[in-house]
Each structure stands twice: as C-alpha cells, then as structure tokens.
Structure 1
C-alpha cells in the first residue's frame, strides 16, 4: 500500500506510470536496484504535480501548489520531470544562475505592457497544450490565469 510520501513515477523506457513503492528490487553489483514492474528499466521520471508562477517583474519560480506565494500568477502546471525543462526552453534566461524570466516583461515600460507581454508569451506557449510533445505541461490561457493568490 502506498504511503502519503510515495510519488507517481513514469518509466523512461515503456512509459508505464506507477507509484515509486511499486518498483521491484533486483540484485545488482551495488546491492539492489529498483526497477519498473513492467519492463525492468532502472530509470524513471518524477511525475509529482508542480506549478510555475511569475511575478510582476517577470521572474518565474516553480514549486508545489501550496508553495505559490500571495501575488504570484500561476502560468503553467505539469509533472516535475518536464515542467522545468519546458520553461528552460521557452523562457528568457536571466543573469543569475537558474533565473528564468517571461520574455518582454522585465523590459516593459508599464504594467499594461508587461501584461501584454505575459499574454503574448502564454498564447505562444499555449499552442502546445494537449499535444503529445508537451509531456503534460499545460500553460494558462492569455488573460485567464489558472489561478493567482491575489
């Protein structure tokens, strides 16, 4: 039986979704390996639900639904294994390490221009919603954020 700390995982080979506790222990050179119950693959993706939110400055942060601070605008949802990679490919990179920004928002002259830049970014990325290559990452619709804490 799965405990509350058990996480949903997906096999990298056969794409079987299962709980981490369902993985099977097999002997190996280093003791034992936990493998997929269907195909025996050792590697998996962490499918824990995550959200990405941005600030008025354009800074993007990620975490669980409970971590979204007041004032953060939720821009995307998806599995932990794929959300960061999706944003790394789409967002603008800041000067600091691992700093992601919504393109156009930091350069905006006022809040209206910043909101237009955010809507443009969400419309562009929203085209991939529901497609196979999106790996379950869903962007909010322009002008209709998935939720905010304001």
Structure 2
C-alpha cells in the first residue's frame, strides 16, 4: 500500500509536469502567434489529447488556446497600427488572421473599435500633450480653470 505522503508528492510532481507542458504551449503561442496554430497541433507537441489541453489551458490561463492566440494577435496588431506605417489589411495578415473580415471582427470584439478606428484614435492621442503626469491609464488631465 502506498503511503499518503508519497501519493501527495507524486500528485504534486505530476501537477508541476503538467504546468511545464502548459507553459511550453503558451510560449509556442507567444513565439508563433502569426503562424497557423490549431489546438490539435499544440496538443500533439505535449502528448495530450486536444480536449484535455483545452480544458487544462483554460484552467491555468483563464481562456482557451484559441482565445489566447487571438488575444496575442490583437495585441500585436494594436502595436503595429499605433506605431507602424502598414495598411490595416497588411497588419491583419502579418499577425496571422486568415482574412480581413476575421481580423476586423476579432479586433473589434477584443479592442472595442475597428482596426481603422483604433489607428485614428492612436494618431489623435499621439498629438496630445498631457498637462500633468499620466499613470496607470488615467485620463489626460485638463488644464485648470483659473478665475
């Protein structure tokens, strides 16, 4: 019969191995977000069934692998739209969306604006100069009104 302490130690060791597998999947997504990635291929790399990977990934990171890939692509698209000179269509394809329609829909869903509107808003924000310190996403301060 197995000692209860050993069983706990074995379970903890397995949990650490599982977390390392999930980290490898997340790191691959971070590196290869612009490539076609599907759950089956990600699961194959860590020797898990796709359904098991999806469940474990959601438990560890709060979203499915597909949602994680989409979020990474939108994050990168925001940077390119804000700082680059590529067209909206070029940005969508560069970050890995299969079509302009999918890019627009996923971007709008996650960012709350269309990619074009986001770019225009970023351009306007870049021309503003804050009148005081801006920290932690605070709104730009307005000039004080003197009587």
Q: TM-score, normalised by structure 1?
A: 0.25
Structure number having the greater strand percentage? 1
Considering Cα pairs closer than 8 Å and 6+ residues apart, tell me whether 1 or 2 has the greater RCO.
Answer: 1
Which structure: greater helix fraction?
A: 2
Q: TM-score, normalised by structure 2?
A: 0.25
Greater radius of gyration (CA): 2
